[in-house]
Structure 1
Amino acid sequence: MNKKVIKKTDSAFNPIAKGLKGAGFFAREFPIEPFLLFSEFRMSLPVFGPHPHAGVSVMTYMRPDSKESFINRDNLSGLSFIEPGGLHIMQAGSGMHHDEFPKEDGVVTSGFQIWFNHSGKNRFVTPRSIHVDAKDVPEVESENALIRIVHGAYGGKSTMHKMVTDVDLLHIYLKPHKSITIATKQMAFVYGMEGGGTTESEKILPKTMINYSLDGDNITIKAGQEGLQFMLGTGNPHHEPIVYGGPFVATTSEQMEEMQRRYSRGEMGQLEPYENE
């Protein structure tokens, strides 16, 4: 049974800081949990500097058409380059530090930063750094579409990397006037990137967020005359309380207090500023 559209939002890139624009969707306002944040960005300068996270996993996925790579640094894996089409996941768990910024100042990079919620039992899992080159992102090609499997599984293929939160994240290039029906978990959303299309009679344009009902087990997307490039995220909500504390996310206030104690004791690692920052 097809899911029903319950919310449609046409967004736009908004200035966030010097050298950074983005379109972001938060679980506080949109029914996307176990995703906590789904954001597309355009970034040309370093913005945040080294900072900690705990209780969540944070993914940066660079668009394959990004003009330049990202530099990723964290206290577990050191320095690496997230090339166009590649990704890096910081499964922060009990806490770690990272920093990300364009490889070359002044060159606009484009991609997604996505936060994934952890269940209460997995808030303090051992931190893990996962890096995936563009060539190692599995792809499934059919007469109608090309599907890049950023995380999870599709069409008999799956990613070698796996977070503690089970989600599927697909980057789909749907050919003009073609359609695709995809089996999903309980929660599902679609985010338009390029071109245009429809789902359940609702139009999908660049930066359109479509949220679906929990009922149903698949969604159908049809592309218009230009084709449609979009992201599909799907997962099962944890149905647990969420306590936010800046870069930390917990299930209870006691967990949040423990995260803050761990940070104050220096137990989330250290990361010095990049020498060119």
Structure 2
Amino acid sequence: MNQLELPTRPQTATARGISEPIATPWHEFGPGGGAWMLHPADLRALDPFVLVDHFQLGQPVFAPHPHAGFSAVSYLFEDSADGLLNRTSLGEKNFIAPGSLQWFQAGRGAMHDEAPRTPGRAAHGLQVFVNSAAANKNAEPASFSRDAAEIAVVEREGARVRVVLGEFAGHSVRFGAHTPVTLLDITLSANATLEVPLPRAFSAFAIVARGALAGHRVDGPHALRFDAAGDVVRLAAGPEGVQLVLLAGAPIGEPLAARGPFIGNGPTEVNDMIRRFQRGEMGELAPIHPATS
């Protein structure tokens, strides 16, 4: 006998809880600027993300330096007074304009350099370290970019969302990076609300650039972490409005070890990265400006 199939009962989306604000202390790089830093003591706390620097740079502060085992992702806010000159030992040399994104997937290792194009005009943005799974840590380095004009903007009542990476409101942005993530630049006017669907498997947090969410008033930039359980992130701006960058991605779930700009699965791998850098196997990149720190 055939049994009748009962219609599936519609499921109500479950909102993720929000942590108390996480301090992102200001760290001075030198007279050229600095960053509000989110550097968790537990490197896997934000898996697949390792750290975030919310920077203001008006002068060059770093000489060319190596990366290996992860991706260095630079996103410039639209209000940035100027952009960054980006160079790698892959032969790449380009300009990251305000509102644009540059993704440098270091793989087995390469040299990297970023500096403000116009000294005295501060570049304002985020640099995010995104981990690579063990299977991709020795891959050939690669670089990807998205210009400001390519980034879709979704506007709703009281809300504006730049879909830089990931999915939102019918827009899907992926490229050849080994670790796909979501990066949404969200601005809410005073007391406005917005709901952002996310896969349950994704970890998620926000870097708050200005203002605050309702019930989470903080003076200055800070971070908020969202609980793992739930289908959506529900955002409600406070009376002054808020601008935040929502970052989310599927955890890699592997052991993690780091030393400076090298991220491996253990100390043996990190030491091997250091030796390869010392032997010159990550390429060459001549400095074009003096380091000040």
| TM-score normalised per structure 2 | 0.87
Aligned partners of 2:207 and 2:92: how far apart in 1? 32
Contact map agreement 1:12 1:23 (CA 8 A) in 2: yes
Aligned match of 2:205 in 169, 189, 196?
189
- How many residues are matched? 275
Alpha-carbon deviations, 1:134-189, whole Å to 9, x = none? 11122222234211122222111122534211210110011322211112243111
Aligned partners of 1:165 and 1:38: how far apart in 2? 16
Moved more, 228-237 or 186-195: 186-195
Aligned partners of 1:174 and 1:204: how far apart in 2? 16
Instruction: Summarize the Cα distance change of 1:160–1:34 in structure 2 as closer, same or farther, 3 Å threshold.
Output: closer
Aligned partners of 2:61 and 2:257: how far apart in 1? 25
Aligned partners of 1:75 and 1:11: how far apart in 2? 31
1:13 CA drift (Å): 2.9
Q: How does 1:73-88 map to 2 (within 5 A)?
A: 73-88=87-102
Other-structure match for 1:110:
124
Contact map agreement 1:55 1:124 (CA 8 A) in 2: yes
Alpha-carbon deviations, 1:119-141, whole Å to 9, x = none? 11111121101122111122222
Q: How does 1:6-17 map to 2 (within 5 A)?
A: 6-17=19-30
Which of structure 1's runs of 4+ aligned residues deviate more than 6 A? none
Other-structure match for 2:138:
124
Instruction: Summarize the Cα distance change of 1:233–1:209 in structure 2 as closer, same or farther, 3 Å threshold.
Output: same
Aligned partners of 1:202 and 1:195: how far apart in 2? 10
Aligned partners of 1:124 and 1:138: how far apart in 2? 33
1:51 CA drift (Å): 0.8
1:204 CA drift (Å): 6.0
Aligned partners of 1:6 and 1:174: how far apart in 2? 19
State percent identity of aligned pairs.
31
1:28 aligns with 2:41: yes
For the pair shown, which has the larger CA radius of gyration, 1 or 2?
A: 2
Q: Give 2:269's aligned amino acid.
A: Q
Aligned partners of 1:71 and 1:48: how far apart in 2? 12
Aligned partners of 1:244 and 1:257: how far apart in 2? 10
Contact map agreement 1:26 1:32 (CA 8 A) in 2: no
Which ranges in structure 1 are unaligned for 5 or more consecutive residues?
A: none
Aligned partners of 1:11 and 1:125: how far apart in 2? 32
Other-structure match for 1:260:
274
Aligned match of 1:3 in 16, 38, 44?
16
Q: Give 1:85's aligned amino acid.
A: G
Aligned partners of 1:135 and 1:39: how far apart in 2? 24
| TM-score normalised per structure 1 | 0.91
